[in-house]
Each structure stands twice: as C-alpha cells, then as structure tokens.
C-alpha cells in the first residue's frame, strides 16, 4: 500500500544528531515512509543506520558524496507519498508537524506548499528562541529593514525579499509539484532551499503556519555559517562572496515569474518590481541585480554564460569559483544552437547529421582562421522514452537537457539558460540548415541584430499543392515582400531558424503560459519590437522544413490551437489585435469574393474559420503540445 506521506532525510556526518531526527518522524501516528539518503558519511552514520535497516517504514539509500541537493533529489525520486516532507539530519520535527500539515493539505486542495515558524535549538537540544517568519535570529543575519514586500502580507511575495523558510527542513509540498512542474533542488550550496521555495511559490499556493513546528539546530558545522563568515579568514571572504552570488542568482531566476503570477495587470506588476528593488539586501547594487536579471534560466545548474555579465576581476567571479575552473568560464563558443524535441529521434538525428555536413563543408579562408565554435543544446521536452546522448550523432559539441512535457517555449528557455555563446540560434528538430546559413547567423555586422532565415519545404520530399499554399508565403510561413536585410514584421518572426544575441533571449524570454505551441514566438517578437530590437530577414540563411501535408485537416487542427494562443497574445498585448487577427481576416474575406473561387482560396477560408473557432472556444492547455508554430499573420494584399 502506498503511504500518504514521505519524509526525506538527506544525511551527511550527523551521526550524533541523526537518531533524534529519525525518531521525531517515526513518532508520528500517520501512515508514512521515511527515506534516508546517506551522502557518503565518514563519521559512523552508516553503522548507526543499521538500527533501522529492518524497520518497515524506513528505506535507506547510500551514495558517494555528491552534495545536499543531490541527496535531496535522490530521496524525492525514491519517495512514493502524496505529501512530501524534508528533514535535515541535524534537525527534528515537532510532534504534531506532519499531522497538522496533512490536515491543512486535505482541507485545501489548491494548497501546494506549506512552511512554518522555526524553533532554534543548540547542539544539546535546548531552545534558543523562536524565529517567526522573516524575523531573523542568529545564525541568520538580522533583518536589514522592514522591506516593501513585507507590507503586502503575502507569503509568496515575501520570498522575493528574504528566505524566511530558512532551511529545507521547513518545506512540505504535494507530489504534483514534482510530477507536473519537474521541480528539483538546484546545485547551490547556500540557497538551494530558497530557490526551491521560490519555484514552488511560482507554481501554486503557499502558506506559512504561525507555529514553531520544526527545530533547527545551531552548531559549529551549519552550512550557513560559512556564508556568514563564521570560519577561517581565508575562506570567510570566499564563503561570503559565494553566498551573495547564490542569493542574487536565486532572486533573479524567479523574480519575473513570481511577480507576474501575483500581478493583476501591468500597473501592479510594475509596483511589485519597484517594491522588490527597494527590498534588495544591502550588499546588492541595483546595477548588479540588473545584470543578474538577464539570467532567468530555469536549469538546475548555473549557465557558464552568466559570467559574461560580470567583470573579469569582480569579487563574485574571482572568489566564488575555484581557481582551476576559471579558465573554462566566459565566452567559450561563437554560437549556441538550441533545438527542442519530443519523441522524434529519427527526425532529429537527420537534422543533426545535416548540421555536421554544414560545419564540415564550411570553407575556412586565410591562415590562422578557425572554424566557428558551435555548441548544440537539445532539449528533450518530456519524450515518452528519455532521449540519450548516445542516440545522436557524434561529431558535435552536443548536450541533452531534459524537462517534463511543458512545450517548446519552456524547452527553448531551458536551452538558452545553458547557452555558452553570445549568440543563440533556434532550430526545429525537423529544420536542418542549408549551406551558407551559419555565415549569415555569425556575421559580425549583425552582432546586435536578430536574423530570421528563410524556411522552405525540403525539395527531397514530395511538395503538394497544399504545401505550396501553406508556405513560404502562406499561413504557416509568410515571407512575401521580404528581401535580404529588410526588417521582419513581428508577426512573421518564427521560433525556428532565428538567431539573436543571447542577452535578448534572457532579458525577454519566451512566455511559457501559452496553451499551445503557437504564437509564443510572435509574442516574443512583439516584445523585442517594442524594445527597438530589430530582426532582419536573410534568404541566404536558409533552412529546409521536413514536414509533409497531404490533407488540410491536420493543419486546421493547428489553426484552432493557433486561435486559442492568439487570444492569449492579444490579451497580453491588445495592440497585436489588428496585425495578427483583424487584418489577416479582412484579407481572407476580400479574397473569398473573387470568382471563380480557387482551391487555394477555399483552403485560406477554411484555415481562417478554424483559427477563429479556436479564438472563440479556446481549448484546454492540457492537450498534447504541438512542437511547431502554426499560424502567424498574413500581411499580404487582396
């Protein structure tokens, strides 16, 4: 029988405290399992764990020392319960913590995450004080002020000001946070609990219980004391710098998403942003935090490209990184190619093989001229069988990132977060580059421009009359009137064969809230257009599209999804209504009056009807995501 509750204890060299932690869990009257992951302890912990080896509720796992985040993630992966609790091996639960939390979860199905006040105890278990939410006690730094976020009395938004949760022992959440959001603890030493809590607050309802229901033990080996400078002088500065770095990274990674979730409109979103600026810790300058805000990657590791935004001699860069690793940081590549995919290994393999040919055949002119340093980041968007690197061709600097099935917008954001080059090129898994395309995307004259390359049907596939209607001057791809170097209207920008400076994508990432894989690229291009970031067209940066249409019906389904997505885009930006909805509809209506009506006119009319069907009756976002962009704007004349 599956237990309702799982408690995960990551353990490392806490043999003198571990028994108290374990017994504080097993004393609960509820049906639960206790998952203990020993992270390579060397202090007798392994011998102590034998005490519970045969206990029916206890499951013990051992691994080489990999860090707290790895032990936590291993424990969560091994757990089975509906409600998940974390307890560090030197802390302990209050007797009624588990039962009272489960009661609250049962009473409110929307409640996703729970936390509480904290009782501080010393190494002998004696009480030192009560930490009430964001009212800090040692070993945490005293509060620097009553910040502007605290005035809102919202537990989720307060996390943008301070980590009042304070320890991973103070986290309890529903399993769906893992299953639906794919949330894991990141590889951060000091702020992995804060990072997780912010991600949880961005995903759903969070509450704080105003009772001290967890005991946090203060002793000489607390990790937080490293960051507070409570150690030898030589390591004190490194610890402080590393903690400051992680705080900045954690806040920047979640600020935008959490504020947007709690904002009713643009005005309230701006108010929350202003409040956050006024609530920044004293060691943070606005300019420094602004740099971190360019890095809202959602990966569980820190993208090396982050370091491009810090001066080479900045203390955060020098002190927070081991000296042996510094040489690998900075701009190590010329171009990062990001390709989202899902359950299309053979198609992806063909695209990558063509890319290898393009790289090998690219002419290199002049002595000392090297081939461009290109990395490929494939993002597996929840394939039914996880994609492995050895399934893909050798010969490329290629990595595979994985996420639950969240759609190509989230997949592209994840890939961009891991990019190490100053420029990113987006490709589809069925959109191989043509020879010469890389030269255009890497042209130094276009360094601060976006480049939209032309996409045509692959001539090696049979091209039907329907396909000739759909692209390259139709409702799927529309390049009519565009010539080399001309600026592309935002409604003709595609999420494939598109390159731009990496910092554009990080300052204005893809909106992951679209119900389907459509219009997320149009909406992104609208924001770029609003900021004065031009995208220029180049037919020389060509790519083939390997997709085949015999009948209109599959495309009509895509159009219905496009209509639902367009409704979201216009809801975000009402100024888009004319260009992406009304003007194309008028063009179609005027064409429909021409006689005799051609087959292309009938396809156009049917496509527009399907689009408006989706607009009027938006479909559920739970439907299977589509991996390609469907409808954009048709700015042609009747």
pLDDT of residue 344: 94
Class in CATH terms, 1-90: alpha beta
Q: Quick one: pLDDT at residue 336?
A: 94
What are the average pLDDT values for consecutive 10-residue runs of the chain, which has 638 residues?
Answer: 93 93 95 94 91 94 86 90 96 96 96 95 90 66 51 80 88 89 74 88 91 90 53 53 72 72 66 65 50 41 39 37 32 86 94 88 54 90 88 89 87 87 94 92 91 93 89 83 93 94 88 82 93 93 90 89 89 88 78 70 87 75 37 34
Query: Rounded to an integer, what distance in angstroms lies between the CA atom of residue 61 and that of residue 266?
Result: 48
User: Cα separations (Å) of 380 from 227, 292, 338, 399, 630?
Assistant: 36, 26, 11, 11, 20
- Alpha-carbon distance of 136 to 151, in angstroms, equals 17
For the chain, give every domain's residue range. 1-90, 233-265+272-328, 335-362+371-551
**In this structure, what DSSP letter does residue 582 have?**
I
For residue 591, give the H/E element and its range.
helix 583-592
Please check whether residue 453 is in contact with residue 542, taking contact to mean a CB–CB distance below 8 angstroms. Answer: yes
Angle, CA of 109, 115 and 119, to the nearest 5°: 150
Give the C-alpha separation, 458 to 465, whole Å: 14
Return the pLDDT at 328: 31
What's the pLDDT at 151?
A: 67
What gap in Å lies between CA 160 and CA 278, rounded to an integer?
11
Distances (CA, A) of 212 to 94, 184, 191, 570: 8, 26, 21, 46
463 φ/ψ sector (left φ>0, alpha ψ -120 to 50, else beta):
beta
Do 1-90 and 335-362+371-551 show the same overall fold? yes
pLDDT for the residue 234: 44
Cα–Cα dist 562/522, whole Å: 11
pLDDT at 112: 95
pLDDT value for 280: 61
Spatial distance between the Cα atoms of 519 and 501, rounded to a whole number of angstroms:
21
- What secondary structure does DSSP assign to 175-232, as a single string? THHHHTT-----S-SSSHHHHHHHHHHHHSEEEEEEEEEEEEEP-TT-HHHHHTT-S-
CATH topology of domain 335-362+371-551: Spore Coat Polysaccharide Biosynthesis Protein SpsA; Chain A (3.90.550)
Q: What is the pLDDT of residue 433?
A: 94
pLDDT at residue 430, rounded to an integer: 95
Rounded distance between C-alpha atoms, residue 96 and residue 214, angstroms = 10
The predicted model scores a pTM of: 0.52
Using alpha carbons, select from 332, 375, 360, 629 the residue that is nearest to residue 497. 629
Burial label, 142 (beta-carbon count in 10 A; 0-12, 13-18, 19+): exposed
């Amino acid at each position: 029988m599956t237990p309702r509750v799982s408690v995960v204890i990551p353990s490392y060299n806490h043999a003198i405290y571990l028994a108290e932690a374990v017994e504080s869990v097993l004393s609960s009257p509820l049906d639960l399992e206790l998952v203990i992951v020993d992270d390579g302890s060397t202090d007798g912990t392994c011998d102590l764990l034998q005490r519970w080896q045969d206990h029916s509720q206890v499951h013990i796992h051992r691994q080489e020392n990999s860090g707290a985040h790895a032990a936590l993630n291993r424990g969560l992966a091994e757990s089975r319960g509906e409600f998940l609790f974390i307890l560090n091996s030197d802390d302990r639960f209050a007797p009624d913590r588990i039962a009272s939390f489960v009661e609250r979860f049962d009473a409110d199905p929307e409640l996703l995450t729970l936390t509480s006040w904290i009782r501080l105890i010393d190494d002998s278990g004696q009480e030192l004080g009560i930490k009430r939410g964001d009212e800090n006690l040692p070993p945490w730094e005293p509060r620097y002020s009553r910040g502007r976020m605290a005035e809102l009395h919202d537990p989720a938004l307060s996390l943008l000001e301070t980590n009042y949760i304070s320890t991973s022992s103070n986290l309890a959440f529903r399993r769906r946070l893992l299953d639906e959001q794919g949330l894991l603890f990141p590889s951060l030493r000091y702020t992995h609990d804060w990072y997780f809590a912010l991600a949880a607050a961005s995903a759903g309802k969070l509450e704080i219980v105003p009772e001290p229901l967890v005991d946090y033990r203060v002793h000489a080996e607390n990790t937080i004391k490293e960051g507070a400078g409570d150690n030898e002088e030589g390591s004190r500065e490194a610890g402080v710098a590393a903690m400051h770095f992680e705080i900045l990274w954690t806040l920047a990674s979640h600020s935008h998403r959490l504020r947007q979730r709690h904002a009713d409109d643009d005005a309230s979103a701006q108010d929350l942003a202003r409040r956050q600026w006024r609530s920044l810790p004293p060691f943070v300058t606005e300019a420094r935090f602004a740099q971190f805000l360019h890095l809202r990657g959602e990966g569980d590791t820190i993208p090396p490209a982050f370091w491009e935004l810090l001066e080479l001699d900045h203390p955060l860069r020098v002190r927070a990184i081991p000296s042996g690793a510094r040489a690998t940081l900075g701009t190590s590549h010329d171009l990062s190619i990001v390709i989202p995919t899902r359950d299309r290994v053979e198609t992806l393999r063909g695209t990558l093989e063509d890319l290898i040919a393009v790289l090998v055949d690219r002419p290199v002119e002049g002595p000392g001229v090297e081939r461009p340093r290109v990395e490929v980041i494939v993002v597996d968007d929840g394939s039914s069988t996880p994609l492995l690197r050895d399934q893909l061709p050798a010969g490329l600097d290629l990595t595979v990132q994985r996420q639950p099935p969240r759609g190509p917008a989230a997949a592209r954001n994840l890939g961009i977060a891991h990019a190490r080059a100053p420029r990113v090129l987006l490709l589809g898994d069925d959109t191989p580059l043509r020879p010469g395309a890389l030269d255009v995307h890497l042209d130094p004259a276009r360094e601060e421009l976006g480049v939209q390359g032309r996409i045509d049907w692959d001539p090696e596939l049979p091209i039907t009359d329907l396909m000739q209607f759909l692209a390259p001057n139709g409702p799927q791809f529309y390049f009519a009137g565009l010539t080399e170097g001309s600026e592309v209207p935002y409604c003709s920008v595609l999420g494939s064969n598109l390159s731009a400076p990496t910092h554009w994508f990080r300052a204005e990432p893809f909106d992951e809230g679209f119900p389907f894989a459509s219009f997320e690229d149009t909406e992104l291009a609208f924001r770029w257009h609003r900021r004065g970031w031009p995208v220029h067209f180049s037919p020389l940066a060509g790519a083939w599209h390997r997709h085949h249409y015999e009948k209109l019906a599959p495309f009509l389904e895509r159009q219905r999804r496009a209509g639902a997505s367009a409704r979201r885009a216009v809801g975000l930006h009402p100024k888009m209504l004319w260009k992406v909805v009304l003007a194309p509809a008028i063009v179609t209506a005027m064409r429909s009056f021409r006689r005799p009506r051609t087959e292309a006119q009938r396809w156009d009319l049917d496509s527009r009807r399907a689009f408006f069907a989706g607009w009027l009756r938006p479909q559920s976002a739970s439907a299977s995501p589509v991996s390609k962009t469907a409808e954009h704007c048709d700015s042609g004349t009747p």
